[in-house]
Amino acid sequence: MSAHCQLTGRRPGFGNTISHSHRRTSRRFDPNIQRKRYWLPSEGRYVRLALSAKGIKTVDTIGIEAAVTRIRARGEKV
């Protein structure tokens, strides 16, 4: 599973780990991705989405129907 949110489009960020001696090594900041299953009443089925924590809160606010519409508008398959 790739580390990106289907709703918000959040992807990993990249930066450096800086040690005590100030040596820099590459690191990756992954978004908090959760696999969540929602009931989609319009289609009479469950959909499983890979969402970030912020994406889950957005679904709680706007509803699953509007969220699936946004995901499909971005060109992702649900």
Q: What is the pLDDT of residues 39-74, one digit of tens each?
A: 999 999 999 999 999 999 999 999 999 999 999 999
Q: Whole-prediction pTM value? A: 0.85
24-34 pLDDT, tens digit each: 999 999 999 99
Measured distance CA(9)–CA(67) in Å, rounded: 12
Measured distance CA(49)–CA(56) in Å, rounded: 10
